[in-house]
Amino acid sequence: MSLNRGFLSFSVIAAAVIASTPAMAQSSVTLYGVLDVFAGYQNTKVGGKTTSLAVLGNNGLMTSRWGLRGTEDIGGGYRVNFALESGFDPGTGKLQNSYRFFDRQAWVGLGGGFGEVRFGRQNTPMFTWSGNMDAFGAATYASGYNNFANWLARVDNDIAWISPKFVGTQVELHYSVGGQPGTLAGNAVYQAGVQTTQGPVYLALAYLNAANATASNRVQEFMAGGNLDYGWGRIYVGYFRANDVISATTGNALSNPAGKYDPTVGPVGNTAGDWHSTYSLSADYRFTPFFSMGAGAAYTKDSTHLGNDALQYGAIVNYDLSKGTRLYGTISELKNYGTAQFKMAGASITTGSFLTPGPGQSEFGVQVGIRHLF
């Protein structure tokens, strides 16, 4: 009898413990990625000599990458989310950035009715939304919008709030911690953006302000644009303005370290009116759900004393073999003026897979590629 009573007591206690323990949270992890390879040809003058380059390149339409994204439902309408993403070159298998493994994204966040708060290395609104402003997806040789504007793609040590969608509209606020002793402004990056979809119209605005280590000088960037779905395709407009004078250096003062202003990379001035502004207009047409063509042009105006303007126009053909696999081809010409050295790039083309024209030289490019999503 005592043994049975003991077993019964243990059973009651165990049942009470189980009843008082919260149910196991629902969670999921997804492996995903992109593979993008293209055959490319470029022709321009380098050092006064006509130079051609034929390559098997990587990352023309999208950057090749693999990633993990996950979410855990912790109850009460709240969830924990994360993303880890690493870029690579499929032609060689090498990391896109040898100095960091998860070079694209590495963040964890908490979501709920308030939206979502994220902490870590994150994409900027400008990078995420730019493809909605360009028939070339803000990539490939042919995208003058991408080749001229050179917005910041992602930021380290970023704290972000992403609002819930309300009437098709969403807001993002970002603050990247600078990590400089005695100041919250040194090497800090501030961002704000809003995007909205209203019927066939998509519009977006984004602003970025990044300080150098002493907060004595700042890179400022402004993006605006969108598209109109007319039924058989879209018409795209894009605008970008920055005081990062990349036309003189073919570099970006925010390029390294990522998301932080480095005055040794590119000139950024406090002189009023010293900006470069990029204007883009493009459109595409869907012949079938699988086959489309697009064309467009972009112009950048350098308002500094350098006067390094540039113009690019091009066309693109897309054919979807499946939901995840696309064939693409582009043809384009880029005209540099003054001593500008803008070049045809792509999503994240590896050095050695493109030519940098000599000062003021034009460039011609053709590419045919395949992009596969998994």
- Output the pLDDT for position 48: 93
Collapsed DSSP state (helix, strand, coil) of residue 254: coil
Per-chain mean pLDDT for the chain:
91
Contact (Cβ atoms closer than 8 angstroms) between residue 217 and residue 226: no
How far apart, in Å, are the Cα atoms of 360 and each of 49, 118, 204, 343? 13, 43, 33, 11
**Is pLDDT above 80 for 181?**
yes
Res. 116 pLDDT band, cuts 50 70 90: very high
Q: In which residue are the tokens 């407009």 written?
A: 237
- pTM: predicted TM-score of the whole model, two decimal places: 0.90
**Is pLDDT above 80 for 11?**
no
Sign of CA dihedral 308, 311, 317, 322: positive
In tens, the pLDDT along 182-208 reads: 889 999 999 999 999 999 999 999 999
- Output the pLDDT for position 8: 40
d(CA 99, CA 364): 33
Domain locations in the chain? 31-373
Joined tokens for residue 185: 């402004």
DSSP 183: -
- State the architecture of 31-373 in CATH terms: Beta Barrel (2.40)
Write the Ramachandran bin of 51: left for phi over 0, alpha for psi from -120 to 50, otherwise beta.
Answer: beta
Res. 249 pLDDT band, cuts 50 70 90: confident
Mean of the pLDDT values across residues 26-48?
96
d(CA 357, CA 350): 16
d(CA 60, CA 187): 31
Mean of the pLDDT values across residues 22-30?
75
